[in-house]
Amino acid sequence: MDQIINFFRNYARERFGRRVKKIPVALPFTCPNIDGTKGRGGCIYCYKGSRPEHLDPRTSLREQIEQGIKHAKERYGKKTLFFIYFQSYTNTYGDVWKLKELYDTALEYEDVVGLDVGTRPDCVPNEVLSLLSSYKERGYEVWIEFGLQSANFETLKRINRAHGVSELVDATLRAKAFGLKVCIHTIVGLPGEDREDFLETAKLVASLRADGIKIHPIYVMKNTGLAKLYEEGRFKPLSLEDYVRYASEMLELISPTTVVHRLTAEAKKPALLAPDYCTYERKLEVIKAIEDYLRSRGSRQGAKFPFPSLSQEPQERKCVSSLSFP
């Protein structure tokens, strides 16, 4: 069947000629938005730094990688290739020599073809980008994932991100100049946002020619600031129908060559409070609903890319200076 979304799994199979899986690892990193450097308490939705529940940062990196590879080979076959995915907290936040030791360890394993490093856009000095770029020069593929979440600065303040949009633009341009592949992480349905915000966020990702995107619905985890708003009745996550519509519209705006690393979110009850479609069991249902929605409209990822500029599509707008005031 024709692929209407450029999923990472398809991109990677074409690029490497074999099935490629990500092996997530969780290390004892922290985050400048938690330890007081930029902020305290973290983003209002942050739950254990987005660490997958089956991972324990007290387990050594080698053990996590070896277990992950063993499990993946049993499930997906011996020829499977791997990216080591530094997922939880801020994986570039530390001494560069310590980071080098960790990244070097990850790349020692046979069948590992690259790194995928999740971080914040205000946490990537050039020396770290240079280090990551050195692995690319050795033939590995290196992705860096920047959490943006929203292109609306007011939202970023509301959710306590402790960085702005400008940091994301700066980090993306620098990382691309170092030859890294940039994936931008977005969230749909943040408090106070509407469709226009979601589409603007997608347009920013498209404008930056990001190599990859993650799109997922906001979900509420217990013991977070967002949980408090939810329990007080001051915040309601998107329905599945609304999420599917907005995520589809965002996909239409981004380039067809941008690699889609994620289209939903998964967590486990009882830590997950809402919405009930953000579970491992319903992951495929959400993705299929987005594909079905696009197909039903005869649409696809990139159908509206490049999105029209004012010069391409005259609109009923006048420059303020041409208006007459009483």
Which positions touch ligand SF4 (CB under 6 A)? Answer: 31, 33-34, 42-43, 46, 49-50, 89-90, 120, 147
Nearest-approach distance from CB 31 to ligand SF4, in angstroms: 3
CA dihedral (215, 218, 220, 226) in degrees, to 10, reads 130
Pick between residue 33 and residue 301 the one whose CB is nearest to ligand SF4.
33
Q: Which H or E run includes 85?
A: strand 81-86
Q: Which residue is nearest to ligand SF4 (CB)?
A: 42
Would you call 322 helix, strand, or coil by DSSP? helix
CB 252, min distance to ligand SF4, A: 27
- Tell me whether residue 90 or residue 150 sits nearer to ligand SF4 (CB atom): 90
6/150 with CB nearer ligand SF4: 150
Minimum CB separation of residue 265 from ligand SF4 in Å reads: 12
Sign for the pseudo-dihedral over CA of 288, 289, 293, 299: negative
Shortest distance, position 1 Cβ to ligand SF4, whole Å: 35
**Residue 223: Cβ-neighbour burial (10 angstroms; 0-12, 13-18, 19+):** exposed
302 phi-psi bin (left φ>0, alpha ψ -120 to 50, beta other): left
- Least Å distance, CB 185 to ligand SF4, is 9
Say which residues have a Cβ less than 8 Å from residue 6's Cβ, sequence separation at least 6. 256, 257, 258, 259, 260, 301
Q: How many CB atoms lie within 10 A of CB 3?
A: 12
Find the helix packing angle between 126-137 and 165-177, rounded to 10°: 40
Choice between 118 and 302, CB closer to ligand SF4: 118
198 in Cβ contact with 188 (< 8 Å): yes
Q: Which helix (H) or strand (E) holds 175?
A: helix 165-177
What's the one-letter identity of residue 315? Q
Nearer to ligand SF4 by Cβ, of 91 and 248: the residue is 91
Least gap, CB of 123 to ligand SF4 (angstroms):
9
Measured distance CA(87)–CA(31) in Å, rounded: 12
Q: How far is the CB of 300 from ligand SF4 (least distance, A)?
A: 31
Nearer to ligand SF4, 89 or 243 (CB): 89
- Using alpha carbons, select from 65, 30, 32, 69 the residue that is nearest to residue 49: 30
> Which of 206, 273 has the CB closer to ligand SF4?
273
Q: How far is the CB of 301 from ligand SF4 (least distance, A)?
A: 26
Which residue number, 191 or 302, has a Cβ lying nearer to ligand SF4?
Answer: 191
